[in-house]
Structure 1
Amino acid sequence: MYIAAVILSVLLALVSLAAGAPKAQLKGDVPDGLVAKGLSSALVRLIGLAEVAAAAGLVAGIWWQPLGIAAAVGLAVLFLGAIGFHVKWGDYGDTASRSAAVVPVLFVIVAVATAITLAASQ
């Protein structure tokens, strides 16, 4: 179970870091799009910093599982917020934006699986 926990933690950390770094720096199309849809730049930066911190927590959680579990649960909550944001903007009904809106659904499942495998590997 430990190997699965490590693989899921590293995968989720990489995704979280890749998604969070541009938001934390407010650089790129994604932060601009979020600001255009009504989020403040401070909130976008906070979300990005939370994703980067979760990536660090997931990596550290490989050696100290309670931190990894907390990071995975935090990411699951963050991804649930992203799902709510996509629902609010009708992205699941729009074929042009549906593929981007499905990503948080996939990663909330990965985050929950990561938390469960980390808990089981203690």
Structure 2
Amino acid sequence: MNVIIIILSLLLAVAFIATGWPKAVANSTAQSQAEHLGVPMNGYRVLGFVELAAALGLILGLWWRPIGLIAAGGLVVLMVGATVAHRRVDDPPSAAVPALVLGAAALLDFILIVTR
């Protein structure tokens, strides 16, 4: 297994646990963000659980390639949606940078998994 895939998958998993957990438990920061983006809190919680599931998928994908591909691909789609959500509410471009960076990293992980 490629060491780069292992490191990137684990870093992405940690990042999405860190971003998904507050949404899943609906902490006050997540509630404010959901309100700002115009997303119902229940929907925002679902996004948090999706991020947590994808993080688990990235980890399991180190042993079972198809689940890693699904997780990485799903995160790319999710981060495109996050970028669009920030633009839709006229956030400054800098607000979308985390989603763009994580989406690009997930895309790289996907490509590396496909080509290994």
TM-score over 0.5 (shorter chain): yes
Q: Is the 8 A contact 1:73 1:111 kept in 2?
A: yes
Partner of 1:42: 42
- 2:64 alignment counterpart: 64
Matched, 1:109 2:104: yes
| Superposition CA RMSD, Å | 1.4
In structure 1, distance between residues paired with 2:6 and 2:110: 11
Unmatched segments (≥5 aa) in structure 2? none
Cα deviation digits, residues 55-87 of structure 1 (max 9, x gap): 000000001111101100000000000000011
Q: Distance in 1 between matches of 2:57 and 2:49?
A: 12
Residue of structure 1 in register with 2:7 after alignment: 7
Give the gaps of 5 or more residues in structure 1: none
Per-residue deviation, 1:38: 1.8
Residue type at the aligned position of 1:45? R
CA contact (8 A) 1:60 1:67 kept: yes
**Higher RCO, Cα 8 Å, sep 6+:** 1
What is the match of residue 18 of structure 1? Answer: 18
Instruction: Work out the number of aligned pairs and report it.
Output: 116
Residue 102 of structure 1 deviates from its aligned partner by 0.8
